Every structure is written in structure tokens, then in C-alpha cells.
């Protein structure tokens, strides 16, 4: 009789340990995973041939990027504005208004960028705020030219704050 009770005690203890292990390992992994997460690689986006970009006129360029959230991978349509005054030096602006992240457009009559949501107005050459509620100039992106192709390192920035800060 004591052997049978001892067996059931050990079986129950083993079952409890195994159940805790099954539930605890994934929970511990989820809790500790941010500490071991790899830094995301820089996303250099190919914007096009430099010879194809108009001088003195900003060009809107749409592209698709991949966003990962845990195991979910989604494709996101993004855009930037590329501008060159001389065909050699390029400025690439994020396609999001610094106020609330709305998409803005180019007004060829006024030669400014205009955000239709809250009437934000930006200078084409410098991205400076000319009017409206945006708290800072348009966000510029790091660029480089390789083999006649304009590339930009895309990143998102915090919205609605006076300082440019990565998300």
C-alpha cells in the first residue's frame, strides 16, 4: 500500500513539474526575448537612377517595405520625396508630415509642400516649416549614390514633437 501511494506522489510531482516546464519555458522565452533581439539591419531603399530625377522639382517615390512584429510579417506601402537643386546633391524627405504623420503633397504653383490635414506648409529646398502646426521641419533621410542609383536609409521618426527622434 505504501509503495502505491509513493508511486502516485512521484507521478503527481513529475506531472506538475512537466506541466510547469511546458508553460514556463515559452513564457520565460517571451519575457526574455527582447534582451536577445538582434538590431534590425539598416533598410536602404533604392529610389531610382539619379539621371531620371528632375532638377529643381521634388519627385514622390513610393516603395514597399516589410515590417515584422513577432512572427507576423506585413508589407507596408511607404513614400519619400527626393529633391535635387543641381543633379549632384540630393535631399530625401520622409513622406510623413511631422505633425501627425499625414501624407503631404507638392504644390507646383507655390513651390511648397502642403499637408492637407491641418494646413502644414514646408519649404521644398530645406523642409522648413512655413506655416501651420507642424512642430519641426520635414524629416530628412540619409542618402548615398551607388553606381548612378540614389539610395536612402528609411526610418520612421516620432511625430508631434519638436526634436527629430527615431521611433
- For the chain, the domains span 1-37, 44-153
Return the bridge partners of 113, or none: 106, 122
Place of cell 533604392: 46
- May I ask the CATH architecture of the domain 44-153? 3-layer Sandwich (2.102)
| Confidence (pTM) | 0.74
Which pLDDT score, from 0 to 100, does residue 40 have?
56
pLDDT of residue 11: 85
Answer for the pair 78, 154: CB distance below 8 angstroms, yes or no. Answer: yes
pLDDT value, residue 127: 93
Beta strands 44-49; 149-153: pairing state: antiparallel
Q: What parts of the chain have a pLDDT lower than 50?
A: none
Amino acid at each position: 500500500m505504501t509503495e502505491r501511494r509513493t508511486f502516485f506522489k512521484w507521478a503527481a510531482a513529475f506531472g506538475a513539474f512537466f506541466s510547469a516546464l511546458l508553460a514556463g519555458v515559452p513564457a520565460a522565452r517571451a519575457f526574455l526575448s527582447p534582451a536577445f533581439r538582434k538590431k534590425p539591419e539598416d533598410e536602404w531603399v533604392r529610389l531610382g537612377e539619379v539621371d531620371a530625377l528632375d532638377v529643381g522639382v521634388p519627385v514622390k517615390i513610393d516603395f514597399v517595405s516589410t515590417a515584422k512584429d513577432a512572427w507576423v510579417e506585413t508589407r507596408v506601402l511607404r513614400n519619400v520625396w527626393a529633391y535635387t537643386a543641381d543633379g549632384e546633391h540630393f535631399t530625401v524627405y520622409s513622406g510623413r508630415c511631422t505633425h501627425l504623420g499625414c501624407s503631404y503633397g507638392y504644390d507646383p504653383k507655390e513651390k511648397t509642400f502642403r499637408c492637407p490635414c491641418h494646413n502644414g506648409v514646408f519649404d521644398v529646398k530645406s523642409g522648413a516649416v512655413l506655416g501651420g502646426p507642424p512642430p519641426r521641419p520635414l524629416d530628412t533621410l540619409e542618402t548615398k549614390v551607388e553606381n548612378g542609383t540614389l539610395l536612402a536609409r528609411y526610418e520612421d521618426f516620432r511625430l508631434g514633437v519638436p526634436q527629430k527622434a527615431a521611433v
